[in-house]
Structure 1
Amino acid sequence: MSRVAVLYGGISAEREVSLVSGRQVIPALRASGFEVIPIEVTRDLGALIAALTSARPDVVFNALHGRFGEDGCIQGILDWLEIPYTHSGVRASALAMDKAAAKSAFAAAGLPVARHRLVTREELAAAHPLPTPYVVKPVNEGSSVGVEIVRNGDNRRAEIARNWRYGAHAMAETYIPGRELTVGVMGDRALAVTDIIAAAGAFYDYESKYAAGGSRHVLPAQIHPDAYEAALDIALRAHQALGCRGATRADLRYDDTEGEPGRLVLLEVNTQPGLTPTSLLPEQAAHLGIPFPALCAWMVKEARCGA
């Protein structure tokens, strides 16, 4: 029986999400017959290395989210320790987490991305970096942490700049009207397209993603068949463009405001999709007949070191 260490918690802004993911994964792996060693990750890196060294797991299930958990940092440590781990390797993880680098890779692969630019706090405070409406987001965060939409007539730009706490630069990106879509990928297979409708028409923010009732998921998305197939294709090609492995989830905007089949724009790829009760990847897997324990077991079987 394989010994699997589940890493969860971490030190990013997404710690609470990771704790929930880990608490879902642990019993699922046990139900699949694995011996599971839960390891809650804190700021004590020495304690983490000691726990891994002592446990001697065959595989690490990486249920960490956000910085240091899905940006290549923990992946590098696990490569150093020669312990196979779930999800993507160092390079793909770092590339996907850096939104500017990821968009460059997507554009080079011919995938549709929104107009965007990096700005300093001072540049954002001084003037609009793009015509309104536009989105301001951290370069290296997930789960919509720190995302703001600056709309026509909005006077919050200087306030956003003044309160910015997500690094020296922010990404400004043209706001794409329409719908929020997401597509899960398992290995070489795009799963399905979900249409995400935030409660009361709100922006699909952190609260909408993880609070019960925060959003409604339409699966499969009720969109034009050509757009549906194109979304599956974009997600798989984005996964491949970054060099990902295991499971990922691509987030897209679908501008159908002038009718269908509309226009798809790739926003980003999440290399550590959430595994909480409201998360999208497990929902899509279940839609295709893959129960949660089987999804987690598949991730363990796909685990390896290196790129």
Structure 2
Amino acid sequence: MRRRMSANDVIILFGGTSDERRVSVASAQNVATVLPEAEVWFQAPDGSVTPCPRATLAAHQNAYTTDLQLPGTARWPSLDAALDAGEARGKTFFLALHGGQGEDGTTQRALERRGLAFTGSGSEASAKGFDKERAKALAAKAGVRTVESVELTGDAGAMLSALQGLLARHGRLVVKPIRGGSSVGLYHVKGPEDAGRAAREVAAQAPQVAFLAEAFVQGTELTVGVVDSLDGKRRALPCSEVRVDPGRAFDFEGKYLGKGTLELTPAEVPPDVFQAAQALAVTAHEALGCEGYTRTDIIVGARGPVYLETNTLPGLTKASFIPQQLAAEGTALRPFLEEQLALARARRDRQR
């Protein structure tokens, strides 16, 4: 019988300053339920950090659409201050953060500098995965098929020119932030009018937010989790399939509010496609140098699976793909979380 591990030294860190902080709250709600002995720390949108009462986290409703707000003054003014506090010493951090500094390597570097254990990929791999253009280049170098893309730079006119050129070659495009996730900030470009609107709106966000445009591939949308184990082995989880209603997109509302989408786990695709997608996800995980667990998004076109992006801290909400895929292979969430925590401690100990 497998012995249940303790999570008494665990701090679930969630919230954050990114536009994905609400998804992070939903992930923390699920993880905290499975790890009832863990502490829970909330990072507010202003960057301050404070312990969160479990009852407050559990009682928060409509996490995807409503910000969590804790009363009173934050315990620490910043994450750095929180990590330097005595309460953090010797703890293992379960990162339930998504997007922004929680996923781009910034938080990971802060933890690494202090020799603190944390789940997920290290700072270098996190930075690689968060930059979609860099991740695509690394995946392509490892032999994975990718699609043509271009970073949108300059003013609205220059961006429109780039979009028009790509549109002429491919007929349909997807425009998205280079650094980000959760389908926030997506534009689907099907013609000149869409290109003009996307160019104007993207230019208005520059240079704070960088965008890329890539060729749209018609096909089956799949997403595949990859999980590392303490024995050094790595496995791909069962593929999930996303079916989108006509006229809809797999954007934030589709992914988290269930509007116009259907998720199937395991995916209903031929075995050879299923296995090819799993192999692609493992290759991407390794090409980026990821650790712990990731989830890679794939489109299966006429020529087979095509790499889109890799999420280095994918969602762990009750509705997220990783929990769906673990359930499909017969793995409960608690043992998965325990092994991720054990991997975090082992990496910390190796680096001492």
TM-score calculated relative to the size of structure 2: 0.79
Query: Root-mean-square deviation (CA), in Å?
Result: 1.8
Unaligned runs of 5+ in 2: 1-5, 49-76, 229-233
Give the partner amino acid of 1:59: T
Match in the other structure for 2:38 = 36
Q: 1:134 to 1:200 in 2, by over 3 A?
A: closer
Higher relative contact order, chain-length normalized (CA < 8 Å, sep 6+): 1
- The reply to whether residue 298 of structure 1 matches residue 301 of structure 2 is no
Could you tell me how far 1:168 is from its partner in structure 2?
Answer: 5.6
What is the aligned partner in structure 2 of residue 249 from structure 1?
295
Cα distance change on mapping 1:121 and 1:92 into 2, 3 Å: same
Cα drift, residue 97 of structure 1: 0.3
Q: CA deviation at 1:229?
A: 0.9
Matched, 1:150 2:189: yes
Pick from 66, 77, 90: which aligns with 2:99?
A: 66
Q: Number of matched residues?
A: 296
Displacement of 1:129: 4.2
Distance 1:214 1:275, change over 3 A: farther
State whether residues 222 and 300 of structure 2, in contact with CA within 8 Å, keep that contact through their aligned partners in structure 1: yes
Pair 1:14 & 2:20 matched: yes
Counterpart-to-counterpart distance in 1, 2:244 and 2:129: 25
**What's the counterpart of residue 86 of structure 2?**
54
CA spacing shift, 1:121–1:282, aligned 2, 3 Å: farther
Structure 1 residue 139 and structure 2 residue 178: aligned?
yes
* 1:283 CA displacement: 0.5
Aligned with residue 130 of structure 1, among 166, 170, 174: 166
1:198 is aligned to 244
* Residues in 1 aligned to 2:12 and 2:115: alpha-carbon distance in whole angstroms: 16
Q: 1: CA distance between counterparts of 2:199 and 2:338? A: 44
When Rg is computed on C-alpha atoms for both structures, the one with the higher figure is 2
Unaligned runs of 5+ in 1: 257-261
Q: Is the 8 A contact 1:22 1:63 kept in 2?
A: yes
Partner of 1:208: 254
How much has 1:171 moved relative to structure 2? 0.7
| TM-score, scaled relative to structure 1 | 0.91
Q: 2:304 matched to 1:263? A: yes
Match of 1:88 in 2: 121
CA displacement at 1:117 relative to structure 2: 1.3
Q: Deviations over 1:64-95 (max 9, x none)?
A: 00010111000000011211100000110000
Partner of 1:276: 317
Mapped to 2, the partners of 1:215 and 1:54 lie a distance apart of 46
Change in CA separation of 1:39 and 1:214 when aligned onto 2, cut-off 3 Å: farther
